[in-house]
Amino acid sequence: MMETEYGPGRTIPHPVMFRVLDSEAEDTTIPEIRVEHKSEFAYYPGCIDYYDVEMQFSHMNYGDTNHGIIFDSSIKLLRAVGIQPMILDRSFMKCCGHDQLWQGKVDVFERMRDYNTKIIKMLGVKTFITSCAEGYRTFKLDYKLDGVRVVHITQFLYERGLRIPPQPETAKKIRVAFQDPCRSGRQMPLDPVYEEPRELVKRVDNAELVELKTFRADAQCCGVAQMMYCNDKTKGLTASRMDEASDVGADYLLVACPKCLTHFGCLHHENKWKPGEERYAFKVMDVTQFLAERLPGDYPTGSNIDAKRKEPPLPGRRG
């Protein structure tokens, strides 16, 4: 094995997404921002669209895992509690820099942080709502957003008193398990998000909340942090976590972090195409999507309508 300038281990290609997100930090000139609807409540969707594209590109997911629906569901839920949020979209915001910070690229993170802080201050945001656990931790702890309240969307919906209307009589009882994200749970020294998503799920009248074998601060990780690696060991962690969900007989495994959704969805997809694999018969989805599906009405943002997502996997040697 030849020694290159990066060393032997450096040459495994990492996801294109890292490169895309890193390259956002190169140009930090502030563009001209025209926000059509200004509000002191701002919703930041994060990188969910990038996950969708990455998953499609990596041939890991075809139509199973929908990250973009988190955006749609969050807007629907926020409108249901009477908030018309301003959207901090990715045409002028940058990635929060969580991955860059935790991979040690501190300079890249600091450039992103300074840029985002300037934009948030400029737009006069008072309440910063995010649907991503990593974004919640990063904006709350690693940014210096004085005077801006950073909340996870489940916290905000809980304190605003989201009401889920009674489900139709024909709806059958479902068992719902919740995966505590590391970043907004045990790695969040102040204001961890444990109770709010559970309380919200309990408001769905045909849903029964079941706890996994490990939960709250002891909750096992979904297996991968920041999409940094995927190997047999991380897949083992993911599989053991999903085994816990099937052990308690869950119909839904809810997550509050888009990356947990990615990794669970990836394993779910991998096993789905194996004949005779019946272990993971439950659905994996984000908690916002689960709640928004229980609300009447359509998604105000439209949905993630990409025809490619519905296609079956291409025939290939890895099939």
Partner 1 sequence: MATAPTVAPKPPSAPPSPSADPLVAYYQRVRQMNLALAKERYKQGFKVRTQEYIRGRGTLAIVDEEICMGCTHCFDNCAFEAIDMVDRKFALPEYTYTSRKAIIIEDNCVGCEKCAIVCPVDAITMVTKHGFEVKDGRVVSTTAPPPAPRPAAPAAATPRPATPPPAARPAPSPPTPAKPAAPPERTETPSPEAPPPKPEPEEEEAEEAEESTEESETPEEDEG
Contact between 112 and partner 1 by CB under 8 A: the answer reads no
Q: Figure out which of the listed residues 41, 58, 160, 251 binds partner 1, where binding follows CB under 8 A.
A: 58
Q: Does 23 bind partner 1 (CB under 8 A)?
A: yes
315/310 Cα distance (integer angstroms): 15
- Of residues 4 and 170, the one with the C-beta less far from partner 1: 4
For residue 2, with 0-12 CB atoms within 10 Å meaning exposed, 13-18 middle and 19 or more buried, which class applies? exposed
Is 10 one of the binding residues for partner 1 (CB under 8 A)?
yes
Q: How far is the CB of 115 from partner 1 (least distance, A)?
A: 16
Nearer to partner 1, 230 or 237 (CB): 230
* Of the residues 44, 62, 70, 75, which one makes contact with partner 1 according to CB under 8 A: 75
Q: In whole angstroms, give the CA distance from residue 73 to residue 148.
A: 23
| Interface stretch with partner 1, choices 11-19, 153-161, 172-180, 183-191 (CB under 8 A) | 11-19
3-class SS of residue 66: coil
CB 314 within 8 A of CB 61: no
Q: 27 or 205, CB closer to partner 1?
A: 27
| Residue 29 binding partner 1, by CB under 8 A | no
Instruction: Compute how many other C-beta atoms are within 10 angstroms of the C-beta atom of residue 190.
Output: 6
**Two structure tokens written together for 9:** 């281990």
- Can you name the residues that pair with 176 across neighbouring β-strands? 209, 252
Q: Where are the alpha helices (DSSP H) in the chain?
A: 16-23, 48-57, 68-80, 98-102, 106-122, 133-137, 153-159, 195-202, 232-247, 258-272, 287-293
From CA 63, how far away is CA 266, in angstroms rounded?
Answer: 11
Residue 306 binds partner 1 (CB under 8 A):
yes
Instruction: Report CA Rg, the chain.
Output: 20
Q: Which amino acid is at 184?
A: S
Q: Determine if 9 is a binding residue for partner 1 (CB under 8 A).
A: yes
Residue 115 interacting with partner 1 (CB under 8 A): no
The footprint of partner 1 on residues 210-239 (CB under 8 A) is: 227-231
Is 286 a binding residue for partner 1 by CB under 8 A? The answer is: no
Compute the distance between CA of residue 189 and CA of residue 187 in angstroms, rounded to an integer. 6
Q: From 2-10, 115-123, 158-166, 242-250, give the range in contact with partner 1 by CB under 8 A.
A: 2-10
314 binds partner 1 (CB under 8 A): no
Sheet with 41-44, side-by-side order of all strands: 86-87, 41-44, 127-130, 149-152
12 binds partner 1 (CB under 8 A): yes
Which residue shows structure tokens 């984000």?
Answer: 286
Nearer to partner 1, 108 or 245 (CB): 108
Binding residue for partner 1, selected from 28, 30, 33, 84, defined by CB under 8 A: 84
Contact segment (CB under 8 A) with partner 1 among 119-127, 129-137, 208-216, 305-313 equals: 305-313
Q: Which residues bind partner 1 (CB under 8 A)?
A: 1-6, 8-20, 22-24, 26, 36-37, 45, 49-50, 52-54, 57-60, 68, 71-72, 75, 84, 87, 89-91, 103-105, 107-108, 227-231, 270, 300-302, 304-307, 317-318
